Amino acid sequence: MTEKTFSPKATPGGKIPMRVLVLGLPRTNTTSLVSALRTLGYSPYTMRTLVTTPSHIKIWREAVASTQRASGLPLSINDILTSHDAIADLPGCMFAPQLIEAYPSAKVILTTRRYEEWQRSMRESLWVLFTWRLFEVCRLTGLSPLAPLIRLLHALFGVHNGNQYEGNETRRAFETHNEKVRALVSRERLLEIDAEDECEWNELCGFLGVERPEGVEYPRLKEETAMRAGLEQTWWSMVRYLCLMVVLPGIVLVAGGSLYLYMDDLRSARDFYVITPLKEYLDK
């Protein structure tokens, strides 16, 4: 059965129209841009939204499969975006063609970065979810509440670059993503922002057609350090979780089994080393 896709004409009244699509890949300074959009009054759907609404993970995971079989944005994705007028970062950026087609009136912002810098940032942050052994065990076994999110991200990068995190395929996927966005969007509908440049309110507000906020500096957030610290904290949380849920119960199980199997030997050792010397001492 073919997944139904969303057409803007079918949007029920009273829902927030999608106004801004930020389709740059993660680690291209989307954090600062999202903060700026919030200052301007937008309500962007981001990775943070997904993390705080875990019920959406299954919907996005199903969308990954459905968009491989047919073009168009699944209706289920449109439903969870109805209270947002912007979208940025993962998982949305991986659905760039579908979002561009579904929301032809929305303006598009493509955040970019020099490939070598982007790869370094990804290697030290998001990609550790796929390259650190403990996260891989979590994804394969589901032994952590984080497993569904890691599986979704793994599926997204599977479509994006075949889960290759170094080499020519990774570079090709990076460049193809940006070229595809440029090809699908008219010049007047597209704003391209390089992460190395200093974006200002005048540029962003002029493109969006909104007033510049007075007395507010444009946000310049350092996303690499914060995310790396968060992932390391998550790694230690997983270690503690696995110890509590797997290691400690395993120790108890092994200890209990050993006591049952070697009960007679343990009793003999107890009598020989404890009971008999104690009786001889008391009989003196």
Give, in degrees to the nearest 5, the angle at Cα 38 between 23 and 57.
55
Which tokens belong to 243? Answer: 């110890």
Give burial (CB, 10 Å; 0-12/13-18/19+) of 93: buried
Please give the Cα distance from 48 to 10 (Å, whole number): 28
Amino acid identity, position 209: G
**SS3 for the chain, per residue?**
CCCCECCHHHCCCCCCCCCEEECCCCCCCHHHHHHHHHHCCCCEECHHHHHHCCHHHHHHHHHHHHHHHCCCCEHHHHHHCCCCCEECCCCHHHHHHHHHHHCCCCEEEEEECCHHHHHHHHHCCCCHHHHCHHHHHHHHHCCCCCHHHHHHHHHHHHHHHCCCCCCHHHHHHHHHHHHHHHHHCCHHHEEEEECCCCCCHHHHHHHHCCCCCCCCCCCCCCHHHHHHHHHHHHHHHHHHHHHHHHHHHHHHHHHHHHHHHCHHHHHHHHHHHHHHHHHHHHHC
Residue 7, pLDDT score:
42
- The per-residue pLDDT for 45 is 97
Identify any residues that bridge with 21 across adjacent strands, giving them in sequence order. 87, 108
Mean pLDDT per 10-residue interval, the chain, length 284 residues: 46 74 94 94 95 94 83 88 96 96 96 94 88 82 84 94 91 97 96 88 95 91 63 62 60 58 64 63 59
| pTM as predicted | 0.77
Residues in the chain: 284
Q: For residue 14, what pLDDT is reported? A: 54
Domains annotated on the chain, with CATH: 20-221 (3.40.50.300)
- Count other Cβ atoms within 10 Å, centred on residue 169: 13
Contact between residue 17 and residue 107 where contact means Cβ atoms under 8 Å apart: no
Token pair recorded at residue 67: 């968009």
Inter-residue contact 174 to 272 (CB < 8 Å):
no
Q: Which residue has the tokens 């959009």?
A: 37
Region class of 17: left (phi > 0), else alpha (psi between -120 and 50), else beta: beta
